[in-house]
Chains A and B, each alone.
Chain A
Amino acid sequence: GAGVSQSPRYKVAKRGQDVALRCDPISGHVSLFWYQQALGQGPEFLTYFQNEAQLDKSGLPSDRFFAERPEGSVSTLKIQRTQQEDSAVYLCASSLTLNTGSQHFGDGTRLSIL
């Protein structure tokens, strides 16, 4: 399809395991954003990329969180040594340029840490 694609749709992991979440943005979109959405809350910014450059990672909650976009298209959000508080929906969004407030979101990955 033409939208933002995220995988897996659901992920269950045991506390302490590492997880990797994938985002495939809309083709040609320069900017890619990761958000974390806890139950009953709005999405909260984690990090963003302009092409392959990670320009802002101020929202990453700890050094266990790492994101990359090596070729400027697909991005991976990795969480090491997962904790229960990492349970949330992780949303990826892309936009054509840096200067648009209109972002296109993927369906998200629902992460549950047991």
Chain B
Amino acid sequence: RKEVEQDPGPFNVPEGATVAFNCTYSNSASQSFFWYRQDCRKEPKLLMSVYSSGNEDGRFTAQLNRASQYISLLIRDSKLSDSATYLCVVTSISSGSARQLTFGSGTQLTVLP
């Protein structure tokens, strides 16, 4: 079982739709949580951090449930430019004390005109 698991996707939605992605993680010692976005053949870029209290950044809302070890991302009023792969990321302290990122396999989103 992978340490971070995501909806397999792909998600194909019309412009303006609301779409939700889910992610679960297995390491209860995980400390920080993020969503990264990766466009085709490009590098991953940080989209937003995820907190237990929930956080919102414009049309994007992220939520963490530590008890269930579950992370979500909600995108409202989706735009064509939201088309990308969304990577769920958790961090833990590695043997050298750095925050090691563990990525899910990603969920591909295509927003259709």
Q: Does B59 reach chain A (CB closer than 8 Å)?
A: no
**In this complex, what residue of B is CB-closest to A31?**
B98
Contact, CB under 8 Å: B94 / A43? no
Q: Does B49 reach chain A (CB closer than 8 Å)?
A: yes
Complex-state Cα separation, A5 to B87, whole angstroms:
22
On chain A, the number of residues with a Cβ less than 8 Å from chain B's Cβ atoms is 27
B80 CB, nearest partner CB in chain A, Å: 23
Known: A41-B105, A107-B42. A98 touches B95 (CB 8 A): no
Stretch at the interface among A12-20, A44-52, A64-72, A78-86: A44-52
**In this complex, what residue of B is CB-closest to A108?**
B43
Q: Does A27 reach chain B (CB closer than 8 Å)?
A: no
Q: Does A62 reach chain B (CB closer than 8 Å)?
A: no
Which residues of A in the span 78-97 have a Cβ within 8 Å of any Cβ on B? 91, 93
User: What residues of chain A lie closer than 8 Å to B96, measured between beta carbons?
Assistant: 48, 50, 55-56, 98
A93 CB, nearest partner CB in chain B, Å: 8
**In this complex, what residue of B is CB-closest to A3?**
B43
A51 CB, nearest partner CB in chain B, Å: 12
User: What residues of chain B lie closer than 8 Å to A55, measured between beta carbons?
Assistant: 94-98
User: What residues of chain A lie closer than 8 Å to B84, measured between beta carbons?
Assistant: none
Contact, CB under 8 Å: B103 / A42? yes
Contact, CB under 8 Å: A45 / B101? yes
User: What residues of chain A lie closer than 8 Å to B91, measured between beta carbons?
Assistant: 101
Contact, CB under 8 Å: A103 / B42? no
Q: Does B44 reach chain A (CB closer than 8 Å)?
A: yes
Complex-state Cα separation, A39 to B59, whole angstroms:
29
A55 CB, nearest partner CB in chain B, Å: 3
Q: Which 3 A-B pairs have the closest CB atoms?
A: A55-B96, A42-B103, A105-B43
Interface residues of B (CB under 8 A from A): 4, 31-32, 34, 42-46, 49, 87, 89, 91, 94-106
Task: Give 22 pairs: A residue, B residue, CB < 8 Å, sorted on A.
Answer: A4-B43, A40-B105, A40-B106, A42-B103, A43-B44, A45-B101, A48-B96, A48-B98, A55-B98, A56-B100, A91-B43, A98-B96, A98-B97, A98-B99, A99-B98, A99-B99, A100-B99, A101-B32, A101-B34, A101-B101, A107-B42, A108-B43
